[in-house]
Structure 1
């Protein structure tokens, strides 16, 4: 079996605009060599390869579908090359159709989603490739989120009034509280926390932050005896900035998000934040 990674598949998709399955097959035939895989796709006449090679799909939209009873919801990011296409009805219809499909099928991951049938005899990847051809731009589907629970809702943010939402946030609470859910989701959209809580930060990330804090403190010439306290303070500052529950709440800077949730008697189970192209 050829030796290649998911990053190689993603790179080949970005270079050529070809589907995931086609890219995997090309990498298999090229023994994992991305440059040779590009040539393989060219030889096979993959539609649009030469035209789209090297293009960047950094515009697009995030769309959401929330169940009427707020027990489930999805976010889907669909990318394109220009904001002109992103604001078009056809592109947004494609994005909405994909979000509806995720809602109905609950795919385990992106590969499962792309390989699933959105129409009889037509996979999601083929559907996206068809949009590629019809819209005349590189169209990429590579992220989605789906939650189900007691209370799920979304907040969608437009960075420009004439564009579709560029940021989408999905939150799951352990009980219904529409006002708080909206406020927390807006906070997440604005402050982009990387993790929910301290315990969700990978150990290697914490160690890296601690090492940087210690080396920085030593370089500043701080007394050796004071190092542990200073380093711990800087690591705690990292947690406060990187974790949602540790951040000062956007609507009340005197309280952390954790304090606001505790006062309301609500637990935030999880969140997802998707910003187009990032």
Structure 2
């Protein structure tokens, strides 16, 4: 027997996730009305959809900017999608604005994904961590684990996609983009970004 889900319950889930009404209803039925489980169902579905669309060409989109209060920090990004129709959608434009705000709030971000970080930089981070005094007397297996953890943390700090979303810390920016890929039905790519800080590079 299919569980009957109220329209109010469906709307509450839609408001939380941005997913379509039918998708929310099916997720709630699948999870026996448990909202947290339904969110996980939708998240997994969104990741699956995002993976399917990840190789599709995304050359349309917008350039979005954000100037932080006080005009001391500014950010510009190019966010791409597949069609001009989606580029004009308010959800897509809100996503672009949220990403610029994330970059403004995260001074360590230098790369879009961890995979973009040069190997030479990563190798150097391992060398730096391996020479730290607090590891000298540790067994090799524990030392390797600590070094790996510290380097991964450092790489995550440098990567936009690894950042917890400032408005919803339970998800990362990568999760946020995948959610919008599922919602809008197109591949979405952060092509490039630049962060301006007043006074940078002044000697």
Q: TM-score, normalised by structure 1?
A: 0.42
Matched residue, 2:106: 191
CA distance 1:184–1:268, shift in 2 (3 Å): same
Alignment partner of 2:178: what SS? helix
Query: Which consecutive unaligned segments of at least 5 residues does structure 2 have?
Result: 1-58, 82-86, 182-187
Q: Is the aligned partner of 1:240 residue 2:156?
A: yes
**Structure 1 position 274, deviation (Å):** 0.8
In the alignment, the residues of structure 2 paired with residue 277 and residue 220 of structure 1 have an alpha-carbon distance, to the nearest angstrom, of 40
In the alignment, the residues of structure 1 paired with residue 198 and residue 147 of structure 2 have an alpha-carbon distance, to the nearest angstrom, of 35
1:167–1:274 contact (8 Å) kept in structure 2: yes
In the alignment, the residues of structure 2 paired with residue 217 and residue 188 of structure 1 have an alpha-carbon distance, to the nearest angstrom, of 33
Matched residue, 1:181: 96
1:277 to 190, 193, 199: 199
1:246–1:257 contact (8 Å) kept in structure 2: yes
> Structure 1, residues 10-29: CA drift from partner, whole Å, max 9, x if none?
xxxxxxxxxxxxxxxxxxxx
In the alignment, the residues of structure 2 paired with residue 269 and residue 202 of structure 1 have an alpha-carbon distance, to the nearest angstrom, of 17
Query: Which consecutive unaligned segments of at least 5 residues does structure 1 have?
Result: 1-147, 160-164
Q: Is the aligned partner of 1:213 residue 2:124?
A: no
In the alignment, the residues of structure 1 paired with residue 124 and residue 99 of structure 2 have an alpha-carbon distance, to the nearest angstrom, of 29
Matched residue, 2:11: none
Alignment of 1:24-63 (within 5 A): none
Aligned length: 126
Q: TM-score, normalised by structure 2?
A: 0.57
Matched residue, 1:167: 73
Over the aligned positions, Cα root-mean-square deviation in angstroms equals: 1.9
2:135–2:143 contact (8 Å) kept in structure 1: no
Q: Which has the larger radius of gyration?
A: 1
**Structure 1 position 149, deviation (Å):** 5.2
**Structure 1 position 268, deviation (Å):** 1.5
2:161–2:173 contact (8 Å) kept in structure 1: yes
Matched residue, 2:189: 267
Matched residue, 1:91: none
Higher helix share: 2
2:79–2:190 contact (8 Å) kept in structure 1: yes
Higher strand share: 1
Alignment partner of 2:161: what SS? helix
